[in-house]
Amino acid sequence: MKLIVHKDNQMTVTVRPMTLHETAMIIEYFHAATPEHLEMLGVDPSRLPQASQWQRLYEQMFDQPVEQRSSLLVSWLYNDRFLGFSTADKIRVGQQANMHLHITDASQRQQGIGVACVRQTVELYFQILKLKQLFCEPNAFNAAPNRTLQKAGFKYVKTHMTVPGPLNFHQAVTRWVIDRG
């Protein structure tokens, strides 16, 4: 698998497949989030698995070959420190997937780093999953990821009501796509 590094002035961003050990960062991110932050993400706190159960699910997933996993997880590092992550789900290898993006370090949000991370993550997903289309559907009222996706080259498809994933409540989302089909 590919390691991608982006150097811009004093910024070094690394985007790479996540290790099993790093999945604890995802669990911590959601479990430590304030109710307001979860609402902005469109996440229903009552749908979060218990941390130990969630970790076991990741362990089971990592026991499978990448092509057979229900998700592909990507770590974002900024100057070698964990910055955030992306996950791809609804994967149809050779066809399409949906991505999610999260900067876990609040002090690094709205700095433009997310655009570099998303661009590199897109390339990783297309390479590993051999995709034709990659979708992303952030909460329509969460401006930051919607701006990031647009700056990263995604094209607007539509805004609609849905339950985008197993952790989410029914909400307005904006669908974005990169189509290379």
pLDDT tens, residue by residue, 108-126: 787 778 999 999 999 999 9
Domains of the chain: 4-136 (3.40.630.30)
Q: Percent of the chain beyond pLDDT 70?
A: 94
How many C-beta atoms lie closer than 10 Å to residue 55's C-beta? Answer: 16
Distances from the Cα of 122 to the Cα of 5, 42, 105, angstroms: 14, 22, 21
What pLDDT is stored for residue 2 in this prediction? 43
CA distance 58 to 153: 30
Q: Which two tokens stand for residue 4?
A: 């991608």
pLDDT tens, residue by residue, 170-181: 999 999 999 998
What pLDDT is stored for residue 6 in this prediction? 56
The DSSP output letter for 102 is: E
pLDDT tens, residue by residue, 48-86: 999 999 999 999 999 999 888 999 999 999 888 999 999
Nearest to 134 by CA among 174, 164, 175, 178: 178
pTM of the model: 0.91
CA distance 169 to 43: 6
